[in-house]
Amino acid sequence: MTHSLWAEQKKAYFAGGCFWCMESAFEKAPGVSEVISGYMDGSQKNPTYQNYADSGHVEAIEVQYDPQKISYSKLLDLFWRTVDPTDAGGQFVDRGPQNR
């Protein structure tokens, strides 16, 4: 029987306003190995920061984590502390559909 020194990493995706604001909350969490900013849910291939909102994308993050050190439930707790789910117009000072 072989044992891996590296635990299997999982990925979770979150969108909730400015991805830079969301990054910082997740990067500090024990068990999170990487947080990558990007765009989701639009029609344009390879959007940029200058044009992502024009094609319906939202700012999002990919969280890579070790489920033996942090659960998906704990990641959700971080997410709900980072966003206001009752605000359909954006998140905090980040307004518009790209920040919903």
Q: Which residue is catalytic, options 12, 18, 60, 78?
A: 18
How far is 66 from 18, CA to CA, in rounded Å?
A: 24
Active site residue 21: no
Question: Is the torsion defined by CA of 17, 100, 76, 78 positive or negative?
Answer: positive
Tell me which residues are annotated as active site. Answer: 18
